Structure 1
Amino acid sequence: MDSFLRTWQDELKKTFTGKSDAPPDWALQLAEGDDPGYHLPGSAVWAVHGSMSPIVAGIRTLLMQSLHPGALAGVHEHSNFRDDPLGRLAHTIRWIFTVTYGSRDAADEASRRVRRLHEAVQGDYSDGRGAVRSYSANDPELASWVHLTFTDSFLAAHKIWGHAIPGGPDAYVREWAQAGRLMGVAGPPLTESEMRHQLDAWYASGELRVDERVAETVAFIRDAPLHPLLRPGYRVLFAGAVYSLEPRFREMLGLKVPRLGPFPLPVRFATTAVLGVVRLALGPKGPSELAARSRLRRLGLPGADLE
């Protein structure tokens, strides 16, 4: 039994960081730097990203982003997500946590690194009306959709499975807008209402579409190539991501909340249980947050040792 639990815990750590025996080097390096960073302890961003809800939010984000044919074309034509999905996940987590917990210099450099990688992500796609359009991963419009789906997904998942957000949902949207600006987003939403308005505009625009490529992507996300020990829990988390989707987007994706005959299954409760187990395995605070607190203590910031 001890061997089983140790293997499960190792595979879980490897999934999120790429390493099972130690924190990744980039996380430890967040202790370096000479400024507090864009986000501080007690912020809405720390509250949301330091919880377990981002695990569900990440799945939800991928589902939402697949609805934009330009974003999906970039992933299919310029990404090795099929061969190394966990590697892609680890890179995404690195950027999120660096912007969340790192110094401003570290966050700026991490964003520049991603944008440099995006320079080669270009091509053509058919939009929702069937017209051929060009795409670029650094295009402000496409970056806006990616940022919007991220913000919406992380906020939606946290509302269901997280605790109170300091300053409320508007504070999270406003604070995380900085990440959007770092990635070239022009006019990221600053309130939850503005975020909803932008989502409504995208939905009504005809830009979003569903086709065989979307169905293939959804099937891949549903049955991600994880270690067999992680698959039962992941199936619950996927169901949680589907549960958290707005009905209109859930319908577009062809997804349904699991049911047993006429009765909906207790997805919300089951997801809470799985996230609780993951929290026990990973610990109450991740290496990125601990490294950030070390930097903040060195800089003499009040509150770095609280919580």
Structure 2
Amino acid sequence: MDTDDLGLFGPGSVTWKVHDEPILIVAGLRSLYLQALHPRAMAGVAQNSNYRSDAWGRLVRTGTYVDTVVYGTTAEAERAGRRLRALHGRLRATDLFTGEQFRIDEPDLLRWVHVTEVESFVSTARRAGLPLTDAEVDGYYAEQRRAAALVGLDPAGVPGSAAEVADYYRAVRPELRMTKEAAETALFLTAPPIPWKLSRPARLGLSLGPPRWAYFGVAGTALGLLPSWALRLYGGLGLPTTALSADLSVRTLRLALTALPRNWRESPIQQAAKDRAARLTAAA
């Protein structure tokens, strides 16, 4: 029965420990900054997505997918994966450098998106102060191979430890570069339109009220958490002082977010999973 199903991971997993952190909102933004540095992946997004006109809607849909994979029942996670694979299977894009048309669901592209997401999640949580041993970090990467399989990847070809992730980044770095599309995307990620209900009318249509400044702080932290090689591609120096500032910011933000009421920092999917786990524990 679905009421007895704790999904692909469950309360004893490193995945639940990591994704219980509301600071992962910063991690999601960090992963987008990273993904933009891959020209082919960026072309796929730019040519098949309405992210500029529906930035917040896309963010909500992505968050719902991740929550479903992590906290949904096994059937819900598999159903979400099938829908995503079907969508990706229909999409094509054109390489702006070679003119070649390619599939969005090429394994190399899926692997890039997967690795940047999970590495951003676990590294951000750890730098924000979540106590994780090296063995737990490796366990998280190994567990996330189940999520990789949902998007159509062979789990055996997906990095399953911190060392394998580091090796993967070293191998893929020659393919990464700052393109016009990457720069435009980074600018958009840093200053997206704020939903009108949160915006305060201002001259020239630019809202500089509290929500805008708060978002600037989150975006700046996400950028500062990037690996030094990624910061250099973005034109930054990647100095240790940058990393230190980002660490202080993300730790402070984590404290603020974890102080929020549960129904503010946990999605309905996450709350339902925890309630399901509590019922099963009580009945045992």
Instruction: Settle same-fold status: TM greater than 0.5.
Output: yes
Contact residue 124 and residue 225 of structure 2 kept, 8 A: yes
> 1:213 aligns to what?
181
Q: Note if 1:293 corresponds to 2:274.
A: yes
Out of 62, 68, 88, the position equivalent to 2:32 is 62
Contact residue 171 and residue 191 of structure 1 kept, 8 A: yes
Q: CA deviation at 1:264?
A: 8.8
When residues 199 and 257 of structure 1 are mapped into structure 2, their CA distance, relative to the original with a 3 A threshold, is closer
> 2:255 aligns to what?
276
Q: Note if 1:237 corresponds to 2:218.
A: yes
When residues 264 and 150 of structure 1 are mapped into structure 2, their CA distance, relative to the original with a 3 A threshold, is closer
Contact residue 23 and residue 253 of structure 2 kept, 8 A: no
Q: How does 1:33-182 map to 2 (within 5 A)?
A: 33-126=3-96, 130-165=97-132, 167-182=135-150
SS of 1:163's equivalent in the other structure is coil
Identity value in percent: 30
Query: Across the two proteins, how many residue pairs are aligned to each other?
Result: 266
SS of 2:93's equivalent in the other structure is strand
Q: CA deviation at 1:288?
A: 2.3
When residues 194 and 264 of structure 1 are mapped into structure 2, their CA distance, relative to the original with a 3 A threshold, is closer
- Whole-angstrom distance in 1 between the partners of 2:215 and 2:254: 10
- Whole-angstrom distance in 2 between the partners of 1:304 and 1:232: 47
Higher mean displacement: 212-221 or 156-165: 156-165
- Whole-angstrom distance in 2 between the partners of 1:32 and 1:231: 41
Q: Could you list the per-position Cα deviations for residues 227-277 of structure 1 after superposition, in whole angstroms to 9, with x for gaps in the alignment?
A: 343222221221211221111111112246799xx9998443233333433
Contact residue 41 and residue 304 of structure 1 kept, 8 A: no
Unaligned runs of 5+ in 2: 200-209
Higher mean displacement: 282-291 or 177-186: 282-291
Q: How does 1:12-23 map to 2 (within 5 A)?
A: none
> 2:193 aligns to what?
225
- Larger helix proportion, structure 1 or 2? 2
- Whole-angstrom distance in 2 between the partners of 1:264 and 1:275: 16
Contact residue 242 and residue 255 of structure 1 kept, 8 A: no
When residues 303 and 256 of structure 1 are mapped into structure 2, their CA distance, relative to the original with a 3 A threshold, is farther
Q: Which amino acid in the other structure matches residue 132 of structure 1?
A: G
What is the TM-score normalised by the length of structure 1? 0.78
SS of 2:257's equivalent in the other structure is helix
- Whole-angstrom distance in 1 between the partners of 2:218 and 2:38: 23
When residues 39 and 122 of structure 1 are mapped into structure 2, their CA distance, relative to the original with a 3 A threshold, is same
> 2:206 aligns to what?
none
Q: Which amino acid in the other structure matches residue 35 of structure 1?
A: D
SS of 1:40's equivalent in the other structure is coil
SS of 1:165's equivalent in the other structure is coil
> 2:228 aligns to what?
247
Q: Could you list the per-position Cα deviations for residues 138-184 of structure 1 after superposition, in whole angstroms to 9, with x for gaps in the alignment?
A: 22111011101111111221121141237421011111111011111
Contact residue 64 and residue 249 of structure 1 kept, 8 A: yes
Q: CA deviation at 1:35?
A: 2.3
- CA root-mean-square deviation: 2.7
What is the TM-score normalised by the length of structure 2? 0.84
- Whole-angstrom distance in 2 between the partners of 1:132 and 1:201: 24
